[in-house]
Chains A and B, each alone.
Chain A
Amino acid sequence: MGKNKIPFTESRSYPVFFMILITVIFIGILATFHQITRQRIENHRILSYKKTVLSLFDLPFTNIEADYNDFIEENNQNGMDYLTARKENQIIGYGFNISGSGLWGSIHMIIAVTPDFQEIIKLDILDQNETPGLGGRITESWFKDQFSGKDFVEQGKIIPFKLVPEEDDIDLKEIRQITGASSSSKAVVKILYLELQNIADKLGIKYD
């Protein structure tokens, strides 16, 4: 009896072989591409971070690396990393990386506060995973700029800002929330409140 030989492409092992082969090829292409661009992406990330820090303190950034080294000092106290910004030998403020839970993932922010740790100079969002077009609007300037110049201390205690509808006028303790994204707006305000308390505890800041 003649033995009917099945072609390899019709055998049961062919799909497995093909899947492994194509996975190896595509993952190989991706891994190579990632490896080639990794350092470049990391450099962009560091440069972007330094530019954000300088802009928080309204410092120049014509040469980002040199300006960052001239004006910013990286410090650590009681396990808390923070940045000290100086201009003409005067401390103009402190910077802190803060983070917490948003609606879909973590929100990473950076805040600049005045040397007396009472007022926000500026706030910026470094990374977020909120809903595009809704919660993602926390990165828009009008939302972030509301925090600038806000005093977060009242009667010797750090207080959370109150959220009001987007169309409303605001006072010094209020923030306009994003329409359709109240959870993301609340998350930013909550992260800010909890992290400011945490920073004050770790650095031993007291208000009389």
Chain B
Amino acid sequence: MTKKEIFIVSAFTENSVWKQVLGICSALAVTNLMKNSLVMGLGVTFTLALSGLTISLLRQYIPKRVRMMVQTLIIASYVIIVDIFLKAFYPEMSKALGPYVGLIITNCIIMGRAEAFAGKNKPLDSMIDGIGAGLGYSLVLLLISFFRELFGFGSVMGFSVLGDWWYRWSIMVMAPSAFFMLAILIWIIEGPLRANRKK
């Protein structure tokens, strides 16, 4: 596969959320505001890219029996480095991100890509795969959060667009709406859109 194909497959064709149904926990938790989704998406993309690169560089030396422990250690280390870096050099951004940085460790897409791709492929390819998977994940989060924030708060990216006349749909702010928004998204992509592509 060329580098472009690797990116397209990990970001779209085999998208971690709508195709593999991974990373659902964070997709449900942070998608009631677009800003939170963007931050989460960028954090996951950064961690995916660097952990993929590192795991691929070490792949020939990592013993099979302890590979998941090693992957977890590498992923957690990168997340902690990001957290410390933001606290030391960008304190305002660190305060705004709050607990999201720590939550990146629990995202199963990172572990999934480490197991499925980085452990078997070249470093640069693994990094591109990580960036693709991260941006694909971010795209889903932003799509869901756009509708949840719009109907739940009447705003987009924190800017009020619907005005005071809009009666906020409280359900859109709460976790259950993320379930059916995600289900609708998967249905549209895997149903009508896929059928159109086949024609």
A residues within 8 Å of B by Cβ?
9, 14-15, 18-19, 22-23, 26, 29-30, 33-34, 37, 40-41, 44, 48, 129, 131-134, 136, 139, 166-167, 179-180
Collect the chain A residues with CB atoms within 8 Å of residue B163's CB: none
Given A15-B65, A19-B69, A30-B80, answer yes or no on A132-B74 (Cβ-Cβ < 8 Å).
Answer: no
Is the CB–CB distance between B77 and A44 below 8 Å? no
Q: Are A34 and B84 in contact (CB under 8 A)?
A: yes
Complex Cα distance, B58 from A134, in Å, reads 40
List 16 contacting pairs A-B, 8 Å CB cutoff, sorted by A.
A9-B63, A14-B63, A18-B63, A22-B73, A26-B77, A33-B84, A33-B85, A37-B85, A41-B84, A44-B88, A132-B99, A133-B29, A133-B32, A166-B168, A166-B170, A179-B170
12 new A-B contacts, CB < 8 A, other than A132-B103, A166-B168, are A15-B63, A15-B66, A18-B66, A23-B73, A30-B80, A37-B88, A44-B88, A129-B99, A132-B98, A134-B173, A179-B168, A179-B173
In the complex formed, the residue of A with least CB distance to B174 is A180
CB proximity to A under 8 Å, residues B36-66? 36, 58, 61-63, 65-66
Cα distance A29–B81 when bound, in Å?
A: 9
Chain A binding surface, main DSSP class: helix
B84 touches A134 (CB 8 A): no
Which residue of chain A lies nearest to B97 when distances are taken between CB atoms in the complex?
A132
A-B contact count (CB 8 A): 80
A134 touches which of B98, B103, B174 (Cβ 8 Å)? B174
From B77, B80, B88, B103, A41 is in contact (CB under 8 Å) with B88
Q: Say yes or no: is B100 at the interface (Cβ < 8 Å to chain A).
A: yes
CB distance from A45 to the nearest CB of B (A): 8
CB distance A22 to B70 under 8 Å? Answer: yes
Q: How far is the CB of B118 from chain A (nearest CB, A)?
A: 15
Q: Let me know if B73 and A26 touch, CB within 8 A.
A: yes
Quick one: closest B residue to A23, CB to CB? B73
Residues 101 to 150 of chain B near chain A (Cβ within 8 Å): 103
Contact with A along B17-46 (1 / 0, CB 8 A): 000000000000111110010000000000
- Is A48 a contact partner of B95 (Cβ separation < 8 A)? yes
Residues of A within 8 A of B3 (CB): none
By size class, the interface of chain B is 35 or more
- Residues A179 and B29 in contact, CB atoms below 8 Å apart: no
Closest to B70 in A: A22
**Do residues B29 and A48 form an inter-chain contact, with CB atoms below 8 A?**
no
The 8 Å CB contact of B81, one of A15, A33, A136, is A33
Check B30–A26 contact: CB distance below 8 A.
Answer: no
- Give the residues in chain B near A167, CB-CB below 8 Å: 168
Query: Residue B191 at the A interface, CB < 8 A?
Result: no
Tell yes or no: B87 within 8 A of A by CB: yes
A23 to B33, CA, bound (A): 37
Of all chain A residues, which has the CB nearest B33? A133
Question: CA A18 – CA B62 in complex, angstroms?
Answer: 7
A77 to B58, CA, bound (A): 59
Distance of A66 Cα from B98 Cα, bound (Å): 28
**Bound Cα distance from A132 to B97, whole angstroms:** 9
What distance in Å separates the Cβ of A93 from its nearest Cβ neighbour in chain B?
Answer: 24
Given known A48-B95, A180-B170, contact A19–B33 (CB-CB < 8 A): no
Would you call B88 and A19 a contact (CB within 8 A)?
no
Residue B99 contacts which of A9, A41, A136 (CB distance < 8 angstroms)? A136
Quick check: B30 and A40 within 8 Å, CB to CB?
no
The smallest C-beta distance from A178 to any residue of chain B, in angstroms, reads 9
Q: How many angstroms from the CA of A131 to the CA of B31 in the assembled complex?
A: 12
Q: Do A37 and B87 have beta carbons less than 8 Å apart?
A: yes
